[in-house]
Amino acid sequence: MASYNTSEFKSGLKIMMDGDPCAIVENEFVKPGKGQAFSRVRFRNLKTGRVIERTFKSGDSVEAADVMDSELQYLYSDGEMWHFMNPSSYEQVAADAAAVGDSARWLKEQDMCTVTLWNGAPLSVSPPNFVVLTITQTDPGVRGDTASGATKPATVETGAQIKVPLFVELGERVRIDTRTGEYVSRVK
């Protein structure tokens, strides 16, 4: 497996640390006037999400992690695994609940998602920043109430629960910001 030297460390670099794939968040060069140079590195464990700090001697190397982001199309879920396909090669991969995580709330069939692959297997899934989903359940709003900022709960086709303005009706399509889980607008 390829390796990186401390002189190549930079934000975003994917490395292996204690058996887990990690991404460097920050790399600081530390050197006393008369002494050994070090790299103080903060990196995110891509499996656990935790940020850890470690110090390396200048000139040390670490194993590179075979971590790649790819844009894959979400196909379907069988309850246990979520299936994605590369639209050009037609290759499929299956991601488990751990990899899919919270994005399961927003996955709509045929949407393109960013799937982070480690050694070819899904490590994490990011839905697109915005998704358009149909309201499958909500109480009727008060007619004409388009001005108040009040919201009501609603369920969308993926099963996710969101808050929408009172004028949004059952069967309407809405745009949601997946990063915040918030309603953005109605979509015709």
Partner 1 sequence: MNGTWQPTASIAVLRERARLLAATRAFFARHGVLEVTTPVLGRSGPRDVHLSLVEARFPGRQDATWYLQPSPESAMKRLLAAGSGPIFQIGPAFRAGERGVRHNPEFTMLEWYRPGFTLAQLADEVDALLGELLALAPARRVRYRDVFQAQVGLDPMSAANVELAAAAQRAGLRAHAPTDRDELLDLLFSHGVEPALGPGAVHVTQFPASQAAMARVADGVAQRLEVYLNGVELANGYEELTDAAEQRRRFDEQDAARAARALPRPPLDEELLAALEHGMPPGCGIALGMDRLVMLATGAHSIDEVIAFPLERA
Give me the residues that bind partner 1 (CB under 8 A), please: 7, 28-38, 40, 52-58, 60
Contact 164, 138 (CB under 8 A): yes
Minimum gap (Å) between residue 62 Cβ and partner 1: 10
* Residue 50 CB, nearest approach to partner 1 (Å): 13
Nearer to partner 1, 3 or 136 (CB): 3
In angstroms, the CA 69 to CA 91 distance is 15
For residue 32, the one-letter residue type is: P
Q: Shortest Cβ distance from residue 141 to partner 1 (Å)?
A: 51
Nearer to partner 1, 38 or 167 (CB): 38
Which of these, 162, 166, 167, lies nearest to 178 by C-alpha position? 162
> How many Å separate Cα 116 from the centre of its chain?
8
Quote the least distance from Cβ 56 to partner 1, whole Å.
6
User: DSSP class of residue 50?
Assistant: -
Nearer to partner 1, 57 or 175 (CB): 57
Distances (CA, A) of 37 to 57, 66, 81: 6, 28, 47
Shorter beta-carbon distance to partner 1: residue 34 or 188: 34
